[in-house]
Structure 1
Amino acid sequence: MSLTNTQKKQYRLIGHSLNPVVTVAGNGLTEPVLTEMDRALEDHELVKIRYSIVDRDVRNELIAETSKILKCEIVQTIGKVALFYRASLEQNPKLSNLLR
């Protein structure tokens, strides 16, 4: 599942007004954090996640690892915030950031 440039542009526009729903702290990608990220992606499809990691290389590795584990696309990264997209199995118009 690869996003086209047009889709990424549209998702970045939507993501601009979103707030981060999960914060990854110094403990890294623990099981509860991954569970919450998975739930957020399933409900909202497009989510921002904040990585409170000072080291840039470690932060970028965690972002790539998150994408691999949760099978989602990285739409954009700016500083400590990453925007992820994963299509939901059942879209809920009340929860999806794409349909609101």
Structure 2
Amino acid sequence: MQTAPLLGMTTPDLTGADRRALRGEGQTLEATVTVGREGVTATNTRELCAQLGRRGLIKVRANMTDRKAREALFAELAEASDSTLVSTVGRTALYYRPLPETAQA
């Protein structure tokens, strides 16, 4: 995986094989962050960032029914959390951010 600078942090530049591996890993995950009808809030973003810092791969569920609004919401969450949107299926999205060096040891 290569990294590209974004907003002072580095987000991974994932290859197709990387995305496929992360999607496979994400199959067993439960959605741990839920975004309600109010959309992206500071609380949602803070919780997503905290969980990405601990685990690196997080599944998020959105309670919106409008497909285009969900797509925009998922993209906004990725940008706000400096993570990569790996995939979306229906109302769930999978986010990835590499763990810091100290957390991996």
- Which ranges of structure 2 fall in alignment gaps of 5 or more residues? 1-11
- Cα distance per residue 1:29-66 (max 9 Å; x no partner): 11111111110111110010001101111110000111
* Inter-partner Cα distance in structure 2 for 1:32 and 1:65: 14
TM-score, normalised with respect to structure 2: 0.84
Taking every aligned residue pair, what percent have the same amino acid on both sides? 30
**Larger strand fraction of residues:** 2
Contact kept? 1:43, 1:92, Cα under 8 Å:
no
* Inter-partner Cα distance in structure 1 for 2:97 and 2:52: 6
- Deviant stretches of 4+, over 3 Å: none
Aligned to 1:87: 98
Match of residue 27, structure 1, among 27, 31, 38: 38
Which residues of 2 match residues 61-100 of structure 1 at below 5 A?
A: 61-89=72-100, 90-92=102-104
TM-score, normalised with respect to structure 1: 0.88
User: How many corresponding residue pairs?
Assistant: 93
Q: Please state whether the residue corresponding to 1:41 is helix, strand or coil.
A: helix
